[in-house]
Structure 1
């Protein structure tokens, strides 16, 4: 399920249950909902009706849910597809990020995936060349063991139980062919959970344990073959189990012992020359039979010599259609190099001359911090050559004075000399970086552009005073916007105050209470946004930082929520059938495009000028922004949804459902506490030298949060909500945040 599951393409609303016999659409756990496409057998999958094993033709996307309806051999139906509008299915696989979230109730599903089948990484293997070595490693040790008490792990784990000959009952340290699909490239262990011994129990649900790793005969393993080995032999059992592989998510494997599969095999590897040198790295697009391939997974390429080697054996087929598009640099044209030369000769006289030649060569680099071997360099080489020729008469006379010698030619005396000079500079920057360390900081910055935020839904805590749902507490009327040219960089980032960049204006997100206040408002307001349709992983992040300017009021609280947050922010509507509990959207035909003439109505789905009392029109949702208006009224209607030329919807994650879950982490900042370094709260930094500057930075550990709704882990946080509580409801109260 995702935003691409269009109804026009046959997607149907459905509910997938851990137990279809007892599950209901209103269940808060053990249920996945979405729009489902029907997969086609055998185009999208194949199923072994005897073993009940489903094999997908392509990997299941991390954001997708897999579910099924079927009738077993006893005639019992699992699910119900008779309803024309809604499917009721058995859940097979929820989105990856939700599988290990105990709060979702998906723990029983974790045992459904066949974790004894491993992808070798290649197809069409040569069976005679295949070798497997299983190695065990311990945390903190470099020792690698391939045996248990002298018995190879290949034998311990049941992959090797006899020799090649039919009557040879002794293992030969080679995997039995029945466990390897050489054509598809898969290895199947004869145990359901191969790296947990049969005597162990596995936690299949919180607090529920079961001995799921029953040793099965090789003939019972789904290998796609009907043949069974003639001899089956009970072997040794694995002593050092690794049951965490089958109960926890991969992020929790760190520090555990590991079993490594070391395989050797040969397979066709077609190689082609592109007839070009100096291919620009990353510029290539490679397609095999119309399907885009990935470098490193499907092919390898030598950019220098223009040679591509395919890992996919389909490329070696005679009917394979291979397309490769790439960019290249002509020979000697890739590096930024300059070569200049000059040569000259000066004749002082017909017999005296002086000549010189000079060459200058430089090599530049686009890197601001050049790494070793990529340094910018230059070299200057030159020479000086001189020649002097004379005709000394005395030398002729001396020669003629010799007995029996008579010279008829004029004597010539010639002096030549040359000197050369080389001035190299192998690094014009005089420094080189072994590693520029640019990847050390892993940060996630939330954009503060107004258009990516929406009004906030009613918070559910984290404390009773911050739960606005029980009494359906209405937010304080407010506007949020990006004021133009109001805050300079140096006001927020003090270290840049004296630099030229410190005078540049930066973008801030400003909140301002409206002139018209509601009598039942309690002073809370805020905004929210979707971070990712499948959830963003914050498990490796450590700190949360936020800059805020309260203009010196020092009151109320600022709260940031991260996780599953209700999308139901449009709770009051003048149009019946809209508002609380309803998915409100301008996208009436679900094409994810805005047809301004009929759809840009606002969330009430009714055109009407504010103040004209148009039936079913909210009367307060018109968009208007005039830059020349005074600041006091310029932004009053900037958040209007009617005729704002954007598609407004509560469906922030694009799944065509109104998500109402509230399971998230909350970070509460007490704005009345402005003391730097206050104990018991987040670290606070501000400008102590300028009492008129009320910008301050709050920094808190992501672990120092309060949870709402039993959220577990920061692996898949889908939404962010920033809101304020306890703020004076007087017109014109303002708050600013900067990123």
Structure 2
């Protein structure tokens, strides 16, 4: 811009740069169905509905002379108003970068910030953003002044958390073990499960699984028919020893399951070949059938035994024969078999001692687990009547930190007990909350030395009842619960607020202020902070974050004004005074508690005095054998502040103003919602004139009914109900004969009998509506200047033709009237 500016602005010429873009999108859309019937309230138009979308983004930067800089930033897609910025800044600086000699050193208008160094009690020692107004900095001799008048567009908030970890707590009921996931492939492996060595490790069975194929028949999931095999799963399948002829399957112990089976891929299950069990990646459904074909080899003799038979070619005529691990319907033990797992058939194969801990890939550091017994009253206990912790009685705590030490009331971090990767707790006993079931089959608990005999108060129903029975008797069967707590290392945290104001955050780690970019990255739009250093990942580190955010809705208008004066005695000593005024004006006409109009005044005095007293050095040199030539220094810092608040200038506030508590019953204007009216009490059916009611094809503009209402385009038109009444024509659509009064001409001077011709519509108020005894007003908008409109409310007969018989008026779809 070729205009020479005065020297007060630094001389030179204005210079501006504009960068931006604008996008206008126009689209149309039309939907219809061929042969769709047009009605008054459902009209089909093939004319497209037009939509226009406009986006614009631009930035203006430049200077007016050498001392005034201008920045304007506007984005129609911005998250908040604070993302659209305007800043005008005047800096009294010389060409070499030093401050000028003018009284006004700096002037800012638009988006400004406030920082009052060392004034700790004011709360504005760090950068306070989100302000819109003006700020002036000036200097006269040794005095410097800062003045600000602004509105706060943001709100302050803080967050405190332990860096490097995020904790979670979970309670798991004893009845919520993981169902239909873990299965033994043979009863022998189940009975061997309790055998352990001196170190508590499982002892492997003599027979290990050499190969295994797993098959599932499902009724609920979609499956590729080409991948299915026709097969039968037996409790005891055909068995072949060292390649000999297979034996005949057992069809008596348990009914075989015939189904179409799908073979699971290797990534759909895990297998422990020594302990003889499989763990499915996805639990089975209740109606699924599970079968396996496998071979074992004896470590001592080398004997190979094959269970089942799977033809090489998938031929429907040659069925696959499998060992049945789970039948289609849950077959719980019955009668005398209830308390002896050896007699449970296929029911014994499923594990019921595994509990999901809420998530996978758990960090063992910071993991804690306790077991509590529910108390009828008072606090739940984690120890039994003898003071022994339940985690010890259940085999989860058998030693301290060092091997061979006594239990320490902490769960052992034993990977046979806790699978941190899968997020599972595996009790060492198959029936942890009913150890008596083990004793009934001649077994014992896993660690008798520390578990003793396990729990005294047992619930065997958890293991010999189907899940439906257990869930229907939770009050009786749920006696214990598992409390789990774990902390996971992470580098990113949520502050609980979005639209964090750029640059407003102050992050401190153990009291030390962190630097953005090198110590952390702030994602302002979503309100997340990501730490970059190992120090911040220390689980014992303490992090404080203070920040401002732009709320989507601001219920108050906040004004901040302040003045600060400082006098410098020298470059190390000063005296400063601060005065701040803050006003929070509620935008509600009736202020609610917590949103009252308030104001506060705060004044603050602080000083720092720094001396180099020679007498202190001389005094030290008077001490024998001590001589110093280092200059002594004495620093004195002091601050005093007082706040004068008035949190409620009006002196009152509303707990609830009951605005918007109006209850309405919309009777509607759709034609189908109204039917012909029964005669009023003082009139009869034969006096009925012809009346028709309908919805016009064209809707009416809302502003014709409510001239002052503001409406958007898609809600700008309204259906209406048009009622046309002809008193000259009798209405015999509901039976009856013509009244003699219709023989006379209807006019204003006619007899009372002639003028008593009527017509009407009615509709019910169903039982689902609100209690109408509390209703006070009825609102109806009528466009018409002839006739007389009467409204009846209350108990109204449905006898339209007044023949004292409910013909079809009271006939519901089921053929029974409701006598309304």
The question of a shared fold, defined as TM-score above 0.5 by the shorter chain, is answered with no
Q: What is the TM-score when the length of structure 2 is the normalising length?
A: 0.31
Q: What is the TM-score when the length of structure 1 is the normalising length?
A: 0.34
Larger Rg: 2
